């Protein structure tokens, strides 16, 4: 297939591991969901790492644990019937460490499963990662000012050392899975259940494979349980993801928020997302943004089914978030019962945004083709703002069976449409 904007890159391959097994039962791990196995799992991972690598086995059974920190050359394998059940006690995710929370680096509770600056890591198998998010979601209701506090310290004169949380008085929910600045990361096969916050959110990683994961995050009661968030990662392959239920977006690309994101300047780039089934979500199917300060570029999305979600495709950023979103191609999406088919817009979130000087995040060189949707409330939303730059946005072969509102378009820049039909209305012609 010829590409208009996307430039193919060598896709990442699975890392290799020594043929040596470390069974957590040999480290006094005890199943049943009552005894905490944090130390036993940590000892198995450490021995595996020190010996030159291999596989740490989580056998069938329910294993209660606190934070799990992976190390280089370790493959954590969850047998079918195995469930890592993460503790609902926030103290089990201390001491705090440097994490990125919704686009801002800060010190907070450790991710339930993660690692920092490690190479050759895998988590695979047909088991379950259960975040027991029902014990954490209420924090979003009781401590809503905390996110604002973190964001309001995201400006000149503050660093991540000024943003310290992880106490009873100042807590931000832990992520379920977050690897930070790792290389050659392979996640495959397991099921995520009820993440406390974002589910799988690697940050600043290079060479990432996320394949064949299932997500079951309580849509009604959950909060912000985005399924896959690629945050300032490069050289990534995401495929065969199945979202069965989620309380937020399904698959996202992000690169930091405002001052902190611009200061770190780590783009999300070279990403392929394909062959996924995304359904039953409060949020969007495929989402680019809203954290765009480091830039998002050279991404291909193809062959995705989106059903019963807020939007099929969303590009979003906040005014003066900066960071260019460019060279994105999206092809072959099928939608069923989505509220909005395509949305490209700038918006202000509930909390004050600390504006960054020198311009608004521009969207340019974006191609969206071969899209069908049976029914929606709103077909197309393309809204710029003062000073926004829309450059070379092309929509083609988009057929939407029925929509309560055909389009809401206000923009500055270059937008072209060809063979775009909503019901009996054709939107062909440059706008």
pLDDT digits (tens, 9 = 90+) for 32-80: 999 999 999 999 999 999 999 999 999 999 999 999 999 999 999 999 9
The torsion angles phi and psi of 150, rounded to 5 degrees, stand at: -60, -45
Distant-in-sequence, close-in-space partners of 336: CB < 8 Å, separation ≥ 6? 305, 306, 307, 308, 373, 374, 375
Q: How many CB atoms lie within 10 A of CB 352?
A: 10
Could you write out the DSSP letters of every residue in 37-67? Answer: -HHHHHHHHHHHHHTT-EEEEE-SEEEEES-
Q: Which residue has the higher pLDDT, 320 or 153?
A: 153
Average pLDDT over residues 317-333: 88
Residue 356 has pLDDT above 90, yes or no: no
- Exposure string (b/e) for 161-173, b if CB count within 10 Å is 16 or more? eebebbeeeebbb
Domains of the chain are: 15-235 (2.160.20.10), 260-352+363-431 (2.160.20.10)
β-pairing, 104-108 with 97-101? antiparallel
Could you tell me the pLDDT band of residue 351, with boundaries at 50, 70 and 90? very low
Could you tell me the pLDDT band of residue 111, with boundaries at 50, 70 and 90? very high
CB 162 within 8 A of CB 150: no
Q: Which residue has the higher pLDDT, 112 or 150?
A: 112
Between 84-98, 141-155, 246-260, the lowest mean confidence (pLDDT) is in 141-155
103: Cα within 13 Å, side-chain hemisphere: 34
Please give the DSSP secondary-structure letter assigned to residue 200.
B
- How far apart (Å, rounded) are the C-alpha atoms in residues 209 and 47? 25
Q: Residue 68 in 3-state DSSP?
A: strand
Mean pLDDT over each residue of the chain, to the nearest integer: 92
For the stretch 241-255, pLDDT in tens is 999 999 999 999 999
Could you tell me the pLDDT band of residue 140, with boundaries at 50, 70 and 90? confident
What separation in angstroms does the CA of 58 have from each of 3, 27, 148, 168? 43, 11, 39, 31
pLDDT of residue 257: 87
pLDDT of residue 44: 98
CB 38 within 8 A of CB 66: yes
- How far apart (Å, rounded) are the C-alpha atoms in residues 91 and 113? 15
């Amino acid at each position: 297939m010829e590409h208009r904007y996307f430039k193919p890159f060598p896709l990442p391959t699975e890392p290799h591991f020594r043929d040596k097994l470390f069974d957590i039962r040999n480290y006094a791990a005890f199943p049943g969901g009552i005894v905490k196995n944090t130390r036993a799992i940590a000892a198995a991972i450490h021995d595996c790492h020190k010996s030159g690598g291999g596989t740490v086995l989580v056998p069938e059974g329910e294993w209660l644990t606190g934070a799990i920190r992976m190390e280089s050359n370790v493959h954590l394998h969850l047998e079918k019937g195995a469930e890592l059940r993460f503790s609902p006690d926030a103290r089990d995710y201390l001491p705090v460490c440097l994490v990125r929370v919704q686009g801002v680096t800060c010190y907070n509770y450790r991710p339930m499963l993660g690692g920092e600056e490690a190479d050759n890591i895998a988590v695979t198998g047909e088991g379950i990662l259960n975040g027991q998010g029902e014990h954490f979601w209420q924090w979003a209701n009781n401590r809503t000012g905390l996110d604002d506090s973190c964001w309001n310290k995201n400006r000149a004169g503050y660093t991540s050392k000024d943003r310290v949380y992880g106490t009873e008085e100042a807590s931000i929910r832990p992520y379920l899975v977050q690897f930070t600045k790792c290389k050659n990361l392979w996640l495959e096969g397991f099921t995520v259940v009820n993440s406390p916050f974002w589910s799988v959110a690697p940050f600043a990683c290079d060479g990432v494979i996320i394949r064949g994961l299932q997500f079951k995050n309580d849509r009604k009661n959950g909060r912000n349980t985005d399924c896959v968030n690629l945050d300032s990662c490069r050289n990534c392959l995401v495929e065969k993801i199945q979202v069965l239920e989620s309380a937020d977006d399904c698959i996202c690309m992000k690169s930091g928020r405002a001052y902190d994101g611009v200061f770190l300047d780590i783009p999300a780039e070279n990403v392929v997302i394909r062959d996924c089934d995304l359904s039953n979500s409060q949020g969007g199917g495929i989402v680019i943004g809203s954290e765009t300060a480091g830039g998002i570029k050279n991404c291909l999305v193809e062959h995705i089914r989106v059903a019963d979600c807020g939007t099929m495709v969303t590009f979003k950023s906040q005014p003066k978030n900066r960071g260019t979103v460019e060279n994105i191609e999206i092809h072959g999406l099928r939608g069923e019962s989505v509220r909005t088919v395509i949305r490209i817009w700038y918006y202000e979130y509930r909390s004050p945004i600390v504006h960054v000087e020198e311009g608004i995040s521009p969207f340019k060189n974006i191609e969206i083709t071969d899209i069908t949707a049976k029914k929606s409330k709103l077909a197309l939303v393309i809204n710029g703002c003062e000073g926004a730059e829309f450059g070379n946005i092309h929509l083609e072969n988009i057929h939407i069976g029925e929509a309560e509102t055909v389009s809401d378009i206000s923009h500055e820049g270059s937008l072209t449409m060809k063979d775009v039909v909503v019901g009996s209305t054709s939107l062909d012609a440059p706008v």
